[in-house]
Amino acid sequence: MPRAFARRAALLLFALAACDDFEMVPDPEGAAPDVPMTAVPVDPDPLNELPLPEGLDAEVLSIVDGDTLHARIQGRDERVRYIGIDTPETGGDRGPQPYGAEARERNRALVEGQTVRLVLDAQDRDRYGRILAYVYTPDGSFVNAKLVAEGYARVLTVPPNVRFASVFRELETEARDEERNLWQR
C-alpha cells in the first residue's frame, strides 16, 4: 500500500471518529438525474476544521518555542508542552538548532492571541511541571499534527501519552518524503 494512501486512510479514520459531517452527492453509479442521493463523508482533514474535542480552554499568553506555550488556564499562568512532538531548540547550552526559530514562528502563527483547547492524555504534567496537551485552535486545527505535517516537528512518543503516535508517525513520514522544512536535504 503506498505511504500516502496509508496516511490518508489513517487520517480519514481519525477524522471520521471526530467528525460526522456528511454531504449529499449523486450516486456515481447512477446516470439519470433522478438518481437517489448518497450520503458520503465530506473530505475531512484532521489538520483543519474538526469539531473541538472536550478539554480545557487556555488563553495563549506567549510562545516559548515550537512545542511549548505559556497560557492562562482556569485563572492560572501555566506552561504547556505539546504531546507527541519535538521541535528544534531556539536556545540553550548548545545554541539555536536549525529550524528552531522557524518552528517557533509557525507555532506563533497558529496559536498566538487565541483561546486554544487543550486535550490531555494519560499524564497531566511532565517532570518539569508543564501541562502536557494536544492543542487545537478555535477552528478545530490540530496544532501538534500540523507542526509535524509541515515539517517543523519530529515525532517524540513518551509512553503512556501515545494516543496519536501512529498518526504523527504517518505525518512525519510524509513530511520527510516530501522534504518539508527540517527534512530538506
Among residues of the chain, what percentage have pLDDT more than 90?
A: 66
Q: Is 59 a catalytic residue?
A: no
Place of cell 508542552: 81
pLDDT in tens, 53-78: 999 999 999 999 999 999 999 999 99
Separation CA 80–CA 116 (nearest Å): 11
pLDDT in tens, 1-38: 455 544 544 444 444 344 333 333 343 444 444 434 33
Q: Which of 7, 78, 89, 104 is catalytic?
A: 89
CATH topology of domain 56-183: OB fold (Dihydrolipoamide Acetyltransferase, E2P) (2.40.50)
What pLDDT does residue 47 have?
Answer: 62
Separation CA 109–CA 184 (nearest Å): 21
| Residue 136, phi then psi, degrees to nearest 5 | -125, 140
Q: Is 76 a catalytic residue?
A: no
Q: Where are the domains of the chain?
A: 3-41, 56-183
What pLDDT does residue 135 have?
Answer: 98
Taking residues 85-97, what's their average pLDDT? Answer: 86
What pLDDT does residue 90 have?
Answer: 86
What pLDDT does residue 77 have?
Answer: 97
Q: Is 79 a catalytic residue?
A: no
What pLDDT does residue 117 have?
Answer: 98
Look at 164 and 48; give whichever has higher pLDDT. 164
CB of 84 closer than 8 Å to CB of 165: yes
Among residues of the chain, what percentage have pLDDT more than 70?
A: 73
pTM equals: 0.75
Q: Which of 106, 130, 172, 174 is catalytic?
A: 130
